[in-house]
Chain A
Amino acid sequence: MEILRVDKLHLSFGGLQVLRGISFSLEKGEKVALIGPNGAGKTTVLNVLSGLIPPMSGKVILSGHEITDHPAHARASLRLARSFQISSLYPQLSVLLNVLLALQGTEKTSYQMIRPITSYKANLDKANELLASVDLLSKRDIPSQSLSHGEQRRLELILALAVRPIVLLLDEPTAGLTSNESSALAEMLSSPSNKDVAVLFVAHDLDLVFALAKRIFVLYYGKIIAEGSPEEIQSNQSVREIYLGENKGA
């Protein structure tokens, strides 16, 4: 079942064409990697899909509804979540409050002005459960800025998952992680609890790409130049030339 469709996205910054007719779709629960050299426009694709940058033309359709003009908060309400390349947390708030804010973001109770945020037991239990799943429960009361880099990356992922997404956009989720931490993250994303979550992730970490992705898009100067299974991409000559820097004659 198709959950996300992107149709002919175009975007320019001044005279620079950043996205040139990007089109692709994601099935329910599908894990797809978006790879390409630096400056290819990968993060920009995520910014457009999450509503942080409006495209100049093209369409974004989520669960059959066109969301091209929806602001970021409305897309989150439709269960489209994202993480950021550089950890994007609430640094002075505790780890627990970071997760509670993520859990209540799309709920009506987020407009409640008198009852303490910690008195919502269901959210508190869920937050503890999520933190336990990434070994951060013991650190729930310290400010998130005091976490190590690896812990911040894990919290970053939890904040995206707390939205209970149907589509999850991850920008370099393993940046700065050890290989063990990267494997744990790949395991977590492919675990049964996340089997219905469609994931589009940007990564330079090819171990993660090949461990998690069933399909790969290769982006080059704002255009998808190749698409296919990891094996197909590995043997694609254009990709080898452009992305891996191999010459035809080599």
Chain B
Amino acid sequence: MILNREARISKARRYLYFSPVVLILLLLAAAPSFMGTAMISLMTRILCFGLLAMSVDIAFGYTGLWSFGHAAIFGASAYINAILIKQTAVSSFWILAPVSIAAAAVVSAIFAAVAARSSGLYFLLITFALGQLVYSLAMQWKTITHGSDGLWGIPYPNIGIPLSNVSNYYFTLLVVILSGLLLRLFTKSPFGYSLVGIRENEIRARTMGYNTRLRKIIAFVISGMFAGLSGILYLHFNGGIAPENIGMGASGMAMFMVVIGGAATLWGGFVGSAVVLILQYYISLLTPQRWPIFLGAIVIAAVFFSRGGIFPRVIWLWQKVIKYGNTAS
């Protein structure tokens, strides 16, 4: 009897612990019923950049690869998708998305193969340089990419049923949640933990039998594939893609999102995306030109007052609340 009671209490605590997740999912599902078009667009943007930030977190937070080229991989996938939509008769998302993700994997593999011999700041500089190469290609190859104008007129994804602003939000939400769950499994797997091992102590990992260079390349490619998927979702949501979406500013923004949300937490990237884009939206309404100043202040505040990011801090607070509740009862 006592055991049953304890098991029930333990189960109840578990439900209580995860209740905010259910609440957030319900809010995300119900959002279109109480939000206007502009807010739904903002939510879709948060989802796209949340997935990009999660992909950056795999490389940066988990593996310790300071990538400043993820926006270029995001962009390469989006550009390939846009070019295929514009220049071929194929429009099915189920065909074009895998092709574009494969392209993102190839670009990531090239980035990783070149940069994997280095680490830390040098890795960042090499990925930054390679990212700028992709950016230059998008700017200069005008016959294909339309230069600084970009490629526009891209419809919502053709998934077999017509999509609207709201249904595209739900589609993006579904893809991002599934991707997040897949990445969550990845981070808890032997391979995922080996990446954390490499980040924490690469020499020890090598002497344990881990081919650290190969693993860093694989991790970067997997991370790049999810960055590519986020690029495709963003392309369809945004209606197009331009070089300004794939430059160093975008890479820096994705990195900021991870730092603000919490590196090596996966969902922290999503939190960072929400914080940055919601603040950007409201601050830009008041003073559009001064947004970068506020972004800088937010990053500094996050580093000083919430080292480790907002997401781990929120989890810690919630655990305290549950513990306090248990003690009080």
Give chain A's interface residues, CB within 8 Å of chain B.
50-52, 71-73, 76-77, 81-82, 84, 88-93, 97, 100-102, 104-106, 109-117, 120, 159, 163
1/0 per position for B71-109, CB-CB distance to A under 8 A? 000000000000000000000000000000000000000
A90 B209 Cβ-Cβ under 8 A: no
Cβ B190 vs Cβ A90 within 8 A: no
CB distance B190 to A112 under 8 Å? yes
Q: Are A72 and B206 in touch, CB under 8 angstroms?
A: yes
- A–B complex contacts, Cβ < 8 Å, 25 sampled: A73-B209, A73-B211, A81-B208, A89-B201, A90-B196, A90-B197, A90-B200, A92-B196, A93-B197, A93-B200, A100-B190, A101-B193, A101-B197, A101-B205, A105-B194, A105-B209, A110-B190, A113-B186, A113-B222, A114-B185, A116-B185, A116-B188, A117-B192, A159-B204, A163-B208
**Apart from A77-B209, A93-B197, what 17 extra A-B contacts exist at CB < 8 Å?**
A52-B206, A72-B203, A73-B211, A76-B206, A76-B207, A84-B204, A90-B197, A93-B193, A93-B200, A101-B208, A110-B194, A110-B209, A113-B192, A113-B222, A114-B186, A116-B189, A120-B190
Are the C-beta atoms of A114 and B204 separated by less than 8 Å?
Answer: no
Closest-CB distance, B19 to chain A (whole angstroms): 23
**Number of residues from B at the complex interface, CB < 8 A:** 24
Assess whether B189 is in contact with A82, with CB atoms less than 8 Å apart.
no
User: Is there a chain A Cβ closer than 8 Å to B282's Cβ?
Assistant: no
A76 to chain B: which residues have CB within 8 Å?
206-209
Closest to A88 in B: B204
Contact A82 B185 (CB under 8 A): no
Assembled-state Cα–Cα distance A159/B204 (Å): 9
Residue B141 lies at the interface, judged by CB distance under 8 Å to chain A: no
Q: Nearest chain-A residue to B189 (Cβ)? A: A113
Which residues of the other chain, B, contact A120 by a CB distance below 8 angstroms? 190
Complex partner residue of A112 from B191, B205, B208, CB under 8 angstroms: B191
Whether A115 lies near B189 (C-beta < 8 A) is yes
A92 contacts across to B, CB distance below 8 A: 196, 200
* Minimal beta-carbon separation of A108 from chain B (angstroms): 10
Q: Of B188, B197, B204, B209, which is in contact with the most chain A CB atoms at under 10 Å from its CB?
A: B209
